[in-house]
Amino acid sequence: MDTMKKILHQSLQKLSEQHTKQTLGDRRNYLGASDVGACPRKVILDRINQPEHDLATLLRFQRGHKAEDILAEAYTAGGYSNFERQVEIDISTDNVPCLVHIDFVFTSAAKKEKTIVEVKSGKIPETVYSSWESQLYLQMGALAKKYPAYTIKGAILSLDLSEGDAEIFNSYTPNDRLFTALVQRCEHIWHDYQQTLNGQEVELQTNVSPLCGFCSHIQTCPRFQADDLDYPEMIHYVQEFEGYRQAEKESKKRVANHKNALLGMVNARGSFRSGGYLFKKVTRTRQTLDKDRLSRFLADNGVAMSEFERSSTFSFLDIKKAPKEKQPQ
Ligand code: SF4
C-alpha cells in the first residue's frame, strides 16, 4: 500500500473509532440492537478481538454515516423538525446490559404516534434481510416499552448512494412475543460472551448468512472448516445464486434482442423518441494497436515484442460443477 493510502486507511480507522465512541460508547460493555440479528459467534469474537478493518470496510462505514446525514438534512429542508437522531433506549435486564440505538424517531404528538426509520446503506436487497427485521423488532419493542401511550411504527430505509436508489420496507408494528424472544437471544449471547471472557470453553452459536463473506473470523469458523459445505443454509444460498445467474443470463439475452430490434428501427428510419428516451445511431472511431505491424517493426530492429510484455495478477471467482464424490466400494 502506498503512503497516501496508508495515511487514509489509518485516519479512517481513527475516525471510525471516534464515531463509535461518540454515538455508541464502548460496545464491549453491552449488546446493541444490531447484535441481536447477527451471528452470535461473530458478535462475541468481534468484542474479544476487535478486528482491524480494511479500507473498503471503513469507507463503507463512512458511507453509512453520510447516508444518515443526508436524510437528516433532507427531512429538515423538507420542513420536518419532529424527529430525533440516534435515540438510545436502555432495555437491560438482570442478565444482559442491552442498549438500543435508533437512527431516526419521528413523533406526532397530535396522533400520539412514534415512527422508527432505520437506515441501511449499500446495495438494496430484493427482500429485506431477517437480521434487519430482528433489529427493528427489538427497537420497536424498546420504544413501545418506553412510550406505552404511543402507537409505534417502524420502517427500514435502504439507500444505495452509488446507484442513487432508495427502497422503503414499511408497515412494521411491535410484536411482544418477538421482542421477548429477541431479549432472550441477547441474554444467551451475553452469557456465552461472559463465559468466553472467563476462559471457559463454549461452543459459540453460528449463523451462516451472506455476511459470512465479510466476517473476520471465517478462517476459524467451524462452519467453514470442511471443503464440502453441504449444510442447508449454504446450499440454499448457492441455489439462490444459481437462480440469479440464470435470470441475469435471460435478461442479458432479452436486452440484447431488444437493442438489436431498436437499432434496426433506427437504421431504417433514423433517430426517434419514445417512452422518454431518444434513440439514435452513433458511430465512433477507436484507436487500436496493429500488433502484427509493431511486432515486425520491432523484429526488424532486433527487439522481440515479448520484451515489452509484463504479467499482472488478478483474482476472480471460478465456478464449475463439482465432480460427484466417488462412492466407497
Ligand atoms: S463466518 Fe459466518 S457463521 Fe462463522 S462466525 Fe463469521 S458470521 Fe458467524
Q: What is the pLDDT of residues 75-89, one digit of tens each?
A: 999 999 999 999 999
Tell me the pLDDT of the chain averaged across its residues.
Answer: 92
Q: What is the pLDDT of residues 234-244, one digit of tens each?
A: 999 999 999 99
pLDDT for 159: 92
Q: Which atom of ligand 1 is nearest to the CA of 38?
A: 7
* Longest pairwise C-alpha distance within the chain: 90
CA distances, 34 to each of 2, 42, 130, 315, 320 (Å): 35, 12, 11, 32, 36
Enter the C-alpha cell of residue 38.
447477527
Reported as a pLDDT band with limits 50, 70 and 90, residue 328 is low
Residue 329 has pLDDT above 60, yes or no: no
With beta carbons less than 8 A apart as the criterion, state whether 159 and 121 touch: yes
Residues having CB closer than 6 A to ligand 1 are: 39, 41-42, 206-208, 211-212, 215, 217-218, 221, 223-224
Residue to mutate (ligand 1; options 221, 225, 231; most atoms within 8 A of CB) = 221
Q: Which of 36, 22, 20, 39 lies closest to 142 in space, CA to CA? A: 36
CA distances, 308 to each of 287, 293, 294, 305, 312 (Å): 20, 15, 11, 6, 13
Q: Is the CATH number 3.90.320.10 carried by domain 3-202?
A: yes
Q: Whose CA is nearest to atom 7 of ligand 1?
A: 212
pLDDT for 321: 85
Q: Which atom of ligand 1 is nearest to the CA of 215?
A: 6
Q: Which atom of ligand 1 is nearest to the CA of 204?
A: 5
Q: Which of 83, 65, 87, 189 lies closest to 142 in space, CA to CA? A: 87
DSSP 113-140: EEEEEEEEESSPPSS--HHHHHHHHHHH
Lowest mean pLDDT among 30-39, 56-65, 78-87, 251-260: 56-65
Q: What is the pLDDT of residues 124-177, one digit of tens each?
A: 988 898 899 999 999 999 999 999 999 999 999 999 988 889 999 999 999 999
SS3 151: strand
pLDDT for 132: 94
Mean pLDDT score, 1-8: 84
Query: Ligand 1 mean position to 23 CA, how many Å?
Result: 26
Query: What is the model's pTM?
Result: 0.79
